[in-house]
Structure 1
């Protein structure tokens, strides 16, 4: 069931965003039609992601803008329409929780919520696991707890649409791991979210749709697998490149490993806390993949994926990015040009990708 906080769920077209704005040395010009689900604005710092969020929220007035939410016009500068933030019915989450320090958690949650203490409040509190925090003040909460409260406030104050501007950027890895499942849960309950990040791991785990921004323009749109698996797209830098596979949990083994079925290929991960049959996403960092022209024998690595070379992209330095098409999906490998030449890698040749089981980071594993 969608989290709608008592209002009509948003279906069909989520947001129509047309924005043109110029800063000194930078111009933003986008025309976006966003589908339901969790849409990620992805790109390097300064590409225009946060400017879009601020304009949709009403916190920044662009030179020209037309913003429509489910046939409701929030902004149309040509017609002189510009609703203030408190009339847009949107929940906004920033890097920091931005909770009111003088209010309790419960008072923060209810700020701007007109429905009182009804079922919606109880449901949000239960979903986020914050019932024990209701009487506390923000200064006594951890970073992860503050962000959970901020998510709850956004749900209760908005129309069921959330704008999240790099909500995990200020958290350490442990707190990120705490918060990511809640965004997965919101996505799976069809809560529409516009989410800003420059983290490939967050894109891989959360996105149903990805928009890549570069210098104020849309460079590419597609699914997380399409975007992160494209060797020509490196918005987070070459060191962050990694492809996304979808696989189904096959079984859990007594030695602590989980076996996955990825297009008929068995993959092994450290124990994943999901039931057999569950669909999950895995991001495999390109720098963790080794290539071989023959099927290797006598290796400690358990994950060996057969495939064919799809493309080779040479970098500015000694490296190359090899895209390999496998039964499990596209895999990227970051190798040296010398290695690519020694293996005689060209488009179409048979090849094997080898991935150590322990090389797949826990934060790169999420629900499909």
Structure 2
């Protein structure tokens, strides 16, 4: 077990996303009266009862979706199939079988849980191909992101581009996106055309978000706003989680209003997820994340905690801007992380994650008023936003 994330301090004053400076202390995530998203069990983990339900849902989703994914990947031409199977953890670089993990299956689990919430077991069973399509799109983005970000490790093994080269990794990613749309195009379910259109729109939004992210890295700290970074994070992370939930609703025959509420639920939960992911990117345990500690800081990424720190107007914010102005010098990453924390970035990110989860719960209640029916979606959302990396 790795270290748990420290509980956030109270009393930090930061600009709210809309530009207003807060004057009241922000209650710490995990304090009485708020169910915080991170480390509220004291040992940095998920409460056994809550975590168990989500793990069961993820394992069930993986069991239902993996055969569809394996069949789809098996249809690829040999070289591309080899790269894709390596990326999913099912083969080694030499093509021999491997037992590596292919990810948590959060997005396909959301598809299936949303279908079940509004359509029952029959709708869930009919949504397996759609769930696999969403997972293929997710992995398309991972392959491309790893190339663009020059990330050398994912899921505790070398990334595909470090093994096969940039061009082959990009082409494998392109192929996964095409496979996703083919799965939906060949699905006889009446909801498949609407799902394909929504997923295609999502890919465009994902690409726009990635473009904004890369443009952001060329901006000086003073040019970056919380509003802009939150919008980018919604496009990069929230859009696909929202689409996953919405597509599950489509396969359940949900109304337009229910589908849009599911999309909003996924987007808000996605923002909470990204906020926590950014916290883990700075303060996480590499034995659990599979990435080197401080990689985001070494790359001078303007993640949400960092941008919140820039916006704090504190002496630590000015110091952080100076540290970030030296991109070729990694410096003392522990000192940079502490400076982000002193400027309030960690507190803000954890508190904002809790706020986003509250909004997500409101949208979920609109889409699925029956708490028992909504239980699977709630369990998954709490699982991904209570992890500690």
Task: Provide TM-score, normalisation by structure 2.
Answer: 0.26
The normalised TM-score by structure 1 is: 0.27
Larger CA Rg, structure 1 vs 2: 1
Higher helix proportion (structure 1 or 2): 2
Q: Which has the higher strand share?
A: 1
* Greater relative contact order, per chain length (Cα 8 Å cut-off, separation 6+): 2
